[in-house]
Amino acid sequence: MTTVPTTKLQKVLADAGLGSRRALEKWIQAGRVKIDGETASLGDRVSSHQAISVDGREVVHGEVTAPRILIMNKALGTEVSRKSATGRKTVFSELPNLQTGRWISVGRLDVGTTGLLLFTNHGELAHKLMHPSTNIDREYAVRVRSLIDDETRETMLRGVVLDGVTCRFTDIQYFDGRGSNHWYHVCLMEGRNREVRRLFESQQILVSRLKRVRFGPFVLRNFIPAGRVFEIHADEVNAVCKMLDMPLRARSHTRERSDGKVRSSLLPYPNLDLPNWYSEDF
């Protein structure tokens, strides 16, 4: 008897560029997804012969979206949501239109945090970039009102229990400052809700400004103004997919500069094979 190969429903939907796994799970729970006309359930698997629909629209099974990645320099006061309940400007209003699928934010930044925010049109890629198992760190520039003493620094590196979960920085480096304004760069492996601010607050230190400057190999370059987006070159998208063990191939949607060079927003990173043309001279 021949066994028909099946795939997790969330993966099929994510590969079609419909959203992140977490968002798609909510769609399934809400009854928006059907398999062969029947309402789907979490944990369902599907074969290539079955019909899948979301909100009544057919999903082409097996059609893998060519991955794209955008970097935004998120502006202060903007929300990482598709619609704002308070009338604030949202980051999605600044993104280019897609012919199919939708842009997915790789994690979130709160309204008061600025800096690097990633978007992709590929749900499985978004899932991989966010998942703790990939060991991708995040780096933030933090402005505080006073210098951090050695004891406080060691406490935040060792870990602080917040809501039953141990949170910690993997690195804390003094960057610059004068008077009552001092900048530090901190790194951590996960981006839980307000984790950077809460770690500092646990030590009675108020964060006056917070900006994400790096997400794994992605770095926020000076050529990306606040509120604007920059698309990663296809060669670099492919390099990131290879680093994550994802057999995906990107198609170029970027333009070269007038001097023929390609701008990059990547840095050397473990297991990342940068393109031959890569240069940090921008």
Contact 108, 195 (CB under 8 A): no
Query: Which residue numbers are catalytic?
Result: 110
CB 219 within 8 A of CB 267: yes
CA distance 54 to 57: 5
HEC profile of the chain:
CCCCCCEEHHHHHHHCCCCCHHHHHHHHHCCCEEECCEECCCCCEECCCCCEEECCEEECCCCCCCCCEEEEEECCCCECCCCCCCCCCEHHHHCCCCCCCCCEEECCCCCCCEEEEEEECCHHHHHHHHCHHHCCCEEEEEEECCCCCHHHHHHHHHCEEECCEEECCCEEEEEEEECCEEEEEEEECCCCCCHHHHHHHCCCCCEEEEEEEEECCEECCCCCCCCCEEECCHHHHHHHHHHCCCCCCCCCCCCCCCCCCCCCCECCCCCCCCCCCCCCCC
CA dist., res. 50 & res. 28, Å (int): 16
Q: What gap in Å lies between CA 39 and CA 64, rounded to an integer?
A: 23
Cα–Cα distance for residue pair 91/140, rounded to 1 Å:
19
